[in-house]
Amino acid sequence: MNGHTLLYTLLFVMVMFWSGNYIVGKVALREFPPLLLTGLRVSLAGVLVAPAYLWEGRRVSDRWGRKDIPLLLQLGIFGVALNQLFFVFGLSLTSVAHSAIIVGMNPIVILLLASLVGLERLNPRRIAGMLLALAGVAVLKIFQAEPKGASAPTWAGDLLVFLSGFMFALFTIFGKRATGKHTSITVNTFAYVGGAVALAPLTLWQAAAFPFARVSATGWLSLTYMALCPSVIAYLIYYPALTRIPASRVAAFCYFQPLMATMLGVLMLGEHLSVPLVAGGTIIFCGVYLAERG
């Protein structure tokens, strides 16, 4: 297997990890309350990424400045703690399909924020793509006819998932200076450790009265998956991939995430695949593609 074939295989694994996170998250939420699940996931991810940071430290000499650690910890609070908190709470209140489609709009949110701080320029094609994606959201929400139940989408759940993506966009934009000076492993280690520290009071408060003995093996495996696969391994694939192949090709793989997550939700959780869902998701996908290629 040559280098490019291996890299594309790893990118496919990365997208599968991210897609599976929605399904596994739903399973984990059957046994953990959202706040505790978030705190445990972020804390465990910090522990799991630390060996990679220590191993890399033997080979790489980071250029530290006085403001670097506060910046990295702030990125942890917004890009990890709040991002994961909003995601898990949102996932508990909406469907896998809605969550995946809304997260799929992240490139547009990043583009809009980047234009506001002068890193990108908007043009008519990009603006048209944004408006098209918003039209897709309108179709998704106005014409939805989903069944009631634990996985039924709600406005509150969709909004929380959107806020999760907004926090990730802040992490992406304002972390640009940090990723220019430090390796992706350093940034992610400080982000997860910082996020774990920020969530520690809430995590300990929730854990104090939680019956851990009742958690099944499936619950613990789900938590481990969420901390290891989409949080640590996927990002250890994502950032190096950006340095080896064009960002457009990496983004092309990421476009499959909403489709894969939706299909997994239908097959494994019995979620309903409605006409408004397919129509709205398709319109949003076209809008994101148009805005990114503008």
Q: What is the per-residue pLDDT across 174-187, written as a single tens digit (0 to 9) for each? A: 766 666 677 778 87
Q: What is the per-residue pLDDT across 121-172, written as a single tens digit (0 to 9) for each? A: 888 888 888 888 888 888 877 766 555 555 677 888 999 999 998 988 887 7
The answer to whether the CB of 125 falls within 8 A of the CB of 287 is no
Q: Which helix (H) or strand (E) holds 258?
A: helix 256-269
| pLDDT given for residue 40 in this prediction | 96
pLDDT of 23 > 90? The answer is yes
131 vs 69: which has the higher pLDDT: 131
Distance CA 37, CA 31 (A): 9
| pLDDT given for residue 125 in this prediction | 85
Q: Is the dihedral angle over the CA atoms 163, 164, 167, 172 positive or is it negative? A: negative
Q: What is the number of other CB atoms lying within 10 angstroms of the CB of residue 235?
A: 21
pLDDT of 216 > 90? The answer is yes
pLDDT band at 232 (very low <50, low <70, confident <90, very high): confident
From the list 96, 37, 89, 52, the residue with the least C-alpha distance to 224 is: 37
- Beta-carbon contacts of 273 under 8 Å, excluding residues fewer than 6 positions away, are 97, 262, 266
Domain count along the chain? 1
| pLDDT given for residue 282 in this prediction | 86
**% of the chain beyond a pLDDT of 70:** 85
pLDDT band at 208 (very low <50, low <70, confident <90, very high): very high
pLDDT of 246 > 70? The answer is no
Q: Average of pLDDT values for 214-241?
A: 90
From the list 232, 243, 194, the residue with the least C-alpha distance to 52 is: 232
Distance CA 29, CA 49 (A): 23
Distance CA 189, CA 73 (A): 10
pLDDT of 207 > 70? The answer is yes
Range of the domain at 252: 3-292
| pLDDT given for residue 64 in this prediction | 62
The answer to whether the CB of 282 falls within 8 A of the CB of 258 is no
DSSP 213: G
- Predicted TM-score (pTM) of the model is 0.85
153: burial class by Cβ within 10 Å (0-12, 13-18, 19+)? buried
Q: What is the per-residue pLDDT across 95-109, written as a single tens digit (0 to 9) for each? A: 898 898 888 888 888
